């Protein structure tokens, strides 16, 4: 099946193959996973063999597997990339998620390509170009509002992918170089050191401290639960959950949550279809707030919001419980109506404004509104009126640590007569059908009602297979007595055949051909922000009309101070100092200007410059001298490991 924008896709993250399998079981239509190299999450590698195992499981439900090859490649790595792509294609992978345009100039198998969010797709013109050069799906910038998404949808034909849940990078994806400048670990190479999550002091232009030890570049987590219908109406068809570094309970919980929301929408909107087969059922009620998050924001989906930052902590504080009423020698009383459990995790902000966690050995309800907690170790600086939070609900997590979902494909079963016996046809919801036959004698049933009930019951016993019976019917000239062993064998044979037919009937998505003559890139020159790191990428852009091309920041040719992060997050706005907001405010208009600010972390000072026309903040910095001496990336090879 070739997906269109009428096929809604829930796309879940997979740290490894086992996580991916659970994401499929919990209702994902597709999963994305890193390969052995070249993914933007370098600490989550996977072998081709493990990815092939995930592919086999996903394809049972006609779900898809995408592999992230979304770093930029050094010239030394291009042959290794080419070898790896061929192995991934042979393993059955459905698509590659790509940042480096040099990949499009390699000798590749006909595997579908998706444009990574790292390609920084935030204009109609950029989206149109990627739509024309062969990308079947494009991952839109997280910062886009729904109105801009609709404009892109109207100007393109590729499927549109949008992040709906999980961590938010403060910078436009692909436009953050702080990590490389300071550590040599490039975000565009999958090795981000996450300096955005550090505490900073913020000064104004006159050196006055606006705030101290705040995580000014740390965002709350994305949650588009309330915007799904608006995103669908705007043209989005792929709904992406962030989290290839997240633990398994997070993947299960978030996938199940959005699966239920999308299923409700599919029920309401029959013009849309699910992009995979099967229905997932759960042993738990999804509650995304109970697994890792930094509180929630819908970011810029509905325009700029005042409160999108997680300035207090980049950690998971969890749900608010209440305030401490009493601190004893070995217990803490908290005013709360939340039922706590033995083994829960509780945390609070200490006098240094750091998040301190403790594990609850025993929880006792003193009354309806008070819980007494006996922690494994009493914290030194907790006191009355301290606000407590729960960041681990032990009972909920226990549910997620077990088998917590079952995914089944609905089938209709029809038992009918043949000249020499009986036959059973199973037909699934996608129209795939299989028939098993057997020779058997025909003996009239003594008790017609009992025989009918017994036959239908046995036909519906699909047990641990991928299927569940929707309707069972008997097309018999009369009710016969058919031994259970005969019915069971027919059912087993029909299931085996249907599995094989479904496997043969799966169509891997096709590579989309680039437009001819080649599309012209919207600009005729590219700065370091275009992340061109190899000659093949240069060849690509030259072919598409670009004349001047700077090298990627990782080439260490930008020695002066330049923007090392470009973000739509604005610290002037978040502190009520935005010149645009001041317009028309009596007594304020004309007194607020976009003067620079300074972020300070240890000995590092970053000038913040504000470009108000596109509404962006630029964090200025330069590469450290020791980074200039780092050797270039070395070749990686992926030789064909198939038997000769």
Give the model confidence (pLDDT) of 343-354 as tens digits: 999 999 998 889
Q: What is the pLDDT of residues 483-522, one digit of tens each?
A: 999 999 999 999 999 999 999 999 999 999 999 999 999 9
272: pLDDT strictly greater than 90: yes
SS3 content of the chain, % helix, strand, coil (to 5): 30, 30, 45
> What are the DSSP calls for 25-39, one per residue?
HTT-SEEEEE-SSS-
According to the model, what pLDDT value does residue 450 have? Answer: 92
According to the model, what pLDDT value does residue 236 have? Answer: 98
According to the model, what pLDDT value does residue 380 have? Answer: 86
Question: Looking at per-residue confidence, does 221 or 445 come out higher?
Answer: 221
According to the model, what pLDDT value does residue 106 have? Answer: 97
Whole-angstrom CA distances from 35 to 73, 402, 643 are 15, 27, 21
Neighbours of 464 (CB within 10 A): 5
Neighbours of 127 (CB within 10 A): 27
According to the model, what pLDDT value does residue 642 have? Answer: 45
d(CA 155, CA 140): 14
Q: Among 106, 105, 137, which Cα is nearest to 121's?
A: 137
Contacts for 560 with CB less than 8 Å, ≥ 6 apart? 622
Confidence of residue 575 (pLDDT cuts 50, 70, 90): very high
Q: Among 210, 182, 207, 184, which Cα is nearest to 196's?
A: 182
Q: Among 85, 103, 99, which Cα is nearest to 37's?
A: 85
Residue 68 φ then ψ, to 5°: -80, 110
563: pLDDT strictly greater than 70: yes
Q: What is the pLDDT of residues 106-155, one digit of tens each?
A: 999 999 999 999 999 999 999 999 999 999 999 999 999 999 999 999 99
Confidence of residue 580 (pLDDT cuts 50, 70, 90): confident
Average pLDDT score, the chain:
95
């Amino acid at each position: 099946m070739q997906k269109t924008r009428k096929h809604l896709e829930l796309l879940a993250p997979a740290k490894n193959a086992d996580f991916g399998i659970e994401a499929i079981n919990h209702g994902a239509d597709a999963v994305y996973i890193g390969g052995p190299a070249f993914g933007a999450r370098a600490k989550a590698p996977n072998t081709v063999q493990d990815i092939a195992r995930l592919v086999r499981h996903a394809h049972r439900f006609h779900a898809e597997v995408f592999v992230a090859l979304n770093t930029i490649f050094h010239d030394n790595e291009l042959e290794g990339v080419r070898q790896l792509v061929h192995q991934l294609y042979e393993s059955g992978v459905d698509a590659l998620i790509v940042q480096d345009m040099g990949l499009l100039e390699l000798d590749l198998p006909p595997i579908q390509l998706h444009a990574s969010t790292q390609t920084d797709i935030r204009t109609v013109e950029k989206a149109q170009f990627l739509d024309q050069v062969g990308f079947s799906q494009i991952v839109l910038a997280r910062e886009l509002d729904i109105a801009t998404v609709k404009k892109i949808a109207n100007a393109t034909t590729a499927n549109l992918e949008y992040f709906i849940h999980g961590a938010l990078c403060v910078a436009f994806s692909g436009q953050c170089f702080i990590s490389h400048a300071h550590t040599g670990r490039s975000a565009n190479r999958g090795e981000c050191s996450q300096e955005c999550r550090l505490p900073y002091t913020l000064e104004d232009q006159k050196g006055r401290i606006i705030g101290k030890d705040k995580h000014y570049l740390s965002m709350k987590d994305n949650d588009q639960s309330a915007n799904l219908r608006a995103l669908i109406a705007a043209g989005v068809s792929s709904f992406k959950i962030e989290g290839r570094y997240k633990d398994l309970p997070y993947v299960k919980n978030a996938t199940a949550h959005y699966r239920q929301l999308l299923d409700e929408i599919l029920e309401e909107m029959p013009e849309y279809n699910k992009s995979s087969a099967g229905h997932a059922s759960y042993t738990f009620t999804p509650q995304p707030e109970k697994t890792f998050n930094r509180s929630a924001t819908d970011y810029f989906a509905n325009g700029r919001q005042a409160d999108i930052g997680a300035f207090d902590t980049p950690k998971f504080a969890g749900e608010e419980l209440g305030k401490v009423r009493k601190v004893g020698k070995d217990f803490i009383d908290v005013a709360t109506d939340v039922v706590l459990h033995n083994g829960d995790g509780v945390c609070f902000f200490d006098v240094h404004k750091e998040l301190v966690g403790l594990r609850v050995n025993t929880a006792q309800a003193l009354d309806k509104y008070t819980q007494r907690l006996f922690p494994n170790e009493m914290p030194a600086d907790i006191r009355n009126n301290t606000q407590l939070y729960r960041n681990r609900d032990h009972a909920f997590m226990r549910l997620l640590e077990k088998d917590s979902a079952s995914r089944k494909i609905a089938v209709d079963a029809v038992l009918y007569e043949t000249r020499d016996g009986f036959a059973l046809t199973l037909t699934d919801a996608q129209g795939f059908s299989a028939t098993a036959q057997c020779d058997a004698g025909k003996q009239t049933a003594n008790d017609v009602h009992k025989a009918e009930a017994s036959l239908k019951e046995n036909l519906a016993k699909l047990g641990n297979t991928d299927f569940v019976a929707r309707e069972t019917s008997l097309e018999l000239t009369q009710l016969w007595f058919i031994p259970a062993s005969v019915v069971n064998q027919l059912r087993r044979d029909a299931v085996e055949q249907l599995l094989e037919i479904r496997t043969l009937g799966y169509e891997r998505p096709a590579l989309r051909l680039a437009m001819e003559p080649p599309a012209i890139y919207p600009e005729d020159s590219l700065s370091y922000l275009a992340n061109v790191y190899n000659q093949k990428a240069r060849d690509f852009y030259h072919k598409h009309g670009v004349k001047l091309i700077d090298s990627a920041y990782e080439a260490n040719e930008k020695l002066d101070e330049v923007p090392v992060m470009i973000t739509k997050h604005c610290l002037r706005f978040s502190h009520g100092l935005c010149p645009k907001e001041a317009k028309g405010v009596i007594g304020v208009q004309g007194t607020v200007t976009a003067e620079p600010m300074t972020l300070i972390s240890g000995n590092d000072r970053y000038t913040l410059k504000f470009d108000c026309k596109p509404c962006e903040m630029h964090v200025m910095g330069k590469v450290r001298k020791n980074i200039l001496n780092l050797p270039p990336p070395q070749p990686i090879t992926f030789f064909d490991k198939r038997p000769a």
